[in-house]
Amino acid sequence: MTAPRVRFAPSPTGYLHVGGARTALFNWLYARHTGGTHVLRIEDTDRERSTEEHTRIILDGLRWLGITWDEGPYFQGEYAARHRADAERLLAERKAYRCFCTREELELQRTQAEAAGIGFRYDRRCLKLASEEIVRRRDSGAPFTIRFIMDDQEIAWDDAVHGRISFQGRDLDDFVILRSDNTAIYNLAVVSDDIAMRISHVMRGDDHISNTPKQIALYRALGQRPPVFAHVPMILGSDGKKLSKRHGATAVGDYQEQGILPAAMRNFLALLGWSPGGDREILAEDEMIQLFTLEGIQKKSAVFDTTKLEWMNGQYLSALPVEELVEPVRRQLIRLGVDDDRDLRPLIESVKARSRTILHVADQVAVRLDPARATLDSKGEALIRKMGPAFGRNLGLAAAALAELEDKDWQPDQLVETLRRVAESQQAKLGDIMQPVRVALTGSTVSEPVNELLAVVGRERSLQRLSEMARRNGGVSVA
């Protein structure tokens, strides 16, 4: 058996949708798993909606996810001549015919059928035209499309994910394969290209299932054996409807913006509609490739769960070496208006375990670079209210004690010792000293251990902020 040839064939009429990205991922995984070839083909035959900008965004999104291709990108628009030749060949072999019906006429027939409660099926009136009539109309310059003759027999195939699927030819109508402007319609273009590119496995969303019998008929009419079809389930929004803009972020670029790591996105997408069997959740690229099979693809559509994506991103974030986060975090800091040339590594290290996205890391790093940026959140406010005057007083005492430490002693061990002594001298719980410090420095009651926080913020900035907050809350300033 020769190595499979698969393709990802997006149309550049919008951004790279997560559903498309997942289809691309499956194709890529299958190619890598089998040692096959992954072909990228841009289906830009819808001239009205296709743009180069969209093509660029799709390519960028694939690269970001680490999805590579071995051939292409090919552009479908460049094969118009072959599409036309295929249509004309079918016409010459009497497997297709010219249709002179206008859009208006067809629209009328459709609405009439609808009103009668019957499904519309083209009535083949142009197939019945006498040949002199056809010649006459053609010579008079009347525009026409080319329609493919659908036979009435059953068309069935063994889908690699669904098993046997069967349609009756009589339920399908003679569909248009070539527009009156001589350009191919989707079904013809796809089949023509897949034949030319020797595609052996067509993996695509299962919203294409109903196109498949038409395409199989086309393969046969063109004297070719159809490829293996694998229809992968769709991705739904949380309401169970097809994922769309209404559901918020649907483009791969949106998640990149939100600080999701490509490896996390890839892992999450792989597990949406595919399972390696067993309990595996976090899968490295090579494991994914090794374990990927068509049999593991789910039949049922899957709901995109952002919360789980973020959890997975958190997993990747904490496993990632700090070095690899420095650049993405610095980029984000600049967008936040923070330009500081300090070494970010210790700061990232101290916050990344508590973060789910790069944005979240950057926000926290920004506050540690400059505690004056800290804004009180509801939990911080609640603590101040709850502690009353003790908040400012304890803060003042802590600041005074910490001020005694010299720069070289501003280390986690000494810091925690100092604060413990303050607590003991006041016969206060450690938390009553620690929490005000935490709130003063971060605005919230949540952070890394306070001693680490102080160390990372640094002596000068910490003392300044602590005194400031103590003063503002009725405590004694030491600065």
Partner RNA sequence: GGCGCUAUCGUCUAGGGGACUAGGACGGGGCCCUCUCAAGGCCCAAACACGGGUUCGAAUCCCGUUAGCGCUACCA
User: Which 392-411 residues touch RNA, going by CB under 7 A?
Assistant: none
Choose between 211 and 256: whose C-beta lies nearer to RNA: 211
Binding status of residue 313 toward RNA by CB under 7 A: no
Choose between 3 and 424: whose C-beta lies nearer to RNA: 424
- Angle, vertex CA 116, rays to CA 112 and CA 117, nearest 5: 115
Report in angstroms how near the CB of residue 92 gets to RNA at its nearest.
Answer: 20
Binding status of residue 78 toward RNA by CB under 7 A: no
Choose between 282 and 479: whose C-beta lies nearer to RNA: 282
Phi/psi-derived region of residue 223, left when phi > 0, alpha when psi is between -120 and 50, beta in every other case: left
Chain residues 201-260 in contact with RNA, contact rule CB under 7 A = 206-211, 233-234, 236, 240-242
Chain residues 96-115 in contact with RNA, contact rule CB under 7 A = 101-103, 106, 110
- Catalytic residue status for 245: yes
Where are the strands (E) in 11-68, listed by range?
37-42
Report in angstroms how near the CB of residue 458 gets to RNA at its nearest.
Answer: 17
Where are the strands (E) in 150-257, listed by range?
154-159, 163-168, 176-178, 201-205, 228-232, 235-236
Chain residues 345-364 in contact with RNA, contact rule CB under 7 A = 353-354
Binding status of residue 450 toward RNA by CB under 7 A: yes
Chain residues 114-173 in contact with RNA, contact rule CB under 7 A = 117-120, 143, 145, 162-163, 165-168, 171
Binding status of residue 427 toward RNA by CB under 7 A: no
Integer Rg of the chain from CA? 32
Exposed e or buried b per residue across 194-227, where buried means at least 16 C-beta atoms within 10 angstroms of its C-beta: bbebebbbbbbbbebeeebbbbbbbeebbeeebb
Report in angstroms how near the CB of residue 267 gets to RNA at its nearest.
Answer: 11
Closest to 95 in 3D by CA, of 26, 149, 170, 137? 149
Residues 6+ apart with CB under 8 A from 123: 109
Judged by CB under 7 A, the stretch of 66-74, 192-200, 389-397, 441-449 that binds RNA is 441-449
Binding status of residue 281 toward RNA by CB under 7 A: yes
CB 34, CB 4: distance < 8 Å: yes
Cα 440 to Cα 394: distance, rounded to the nearest angstrom: 11
Q: Which of 296, 328, 346, 458 binds RNA (CB under 7 A)?
A: 296
Binding status of residue 298 toward RNA by CB under 7 A: yes
CB 422, CB 475: distance < 8 Å: no
Binding status of residue 431 toward RNA by CB under 7 A: yes
Backbone φ and ψ for 336, nearest 5 degrees, come out as -80, -5
Q: Which of 95, 128, 245, 300 is catalytic?
A: 245
Residue that has been written with the tokens 């694998």 in this structure: 230
- # of chain residues touching RNA (CB under 7 A): 86
Bridge-partner residues for 131, per DSSP?
none
Binding status of residue 23 toward RNA by CB under 7 A: no
Q: Which of 2, 131, 140, 307 binds RNA (CB under 7 A)?
A: 307
Report in angstroms how near the CB of residue 372 gets to RNA at its nearest.
Answer: 20
Find out whether the peptide bond into 73 is cis, omega within 30 degrees of 0. yes
Choose between 26 and 28: whose C-beta lies nearer to RNA: 26
Report in angstroms how near the CB of residue 334 gets to RNA at its nearest.
Answer: 26
- Angle, vertex CA 61, rays to CA 4 and CA 235, nearest 5: 75
Choose between 3 and 133: whose C-beta lies nearer to RNA: 133
Report in angstroms how near the CB of residue 337 gets to RNA at its nearest.
Answer: 26
Within 10 A of 422 (CB to CB), how many other CB atoms are there? Answer: 22
Which active-site residues does the annotation give?
Answer: 245
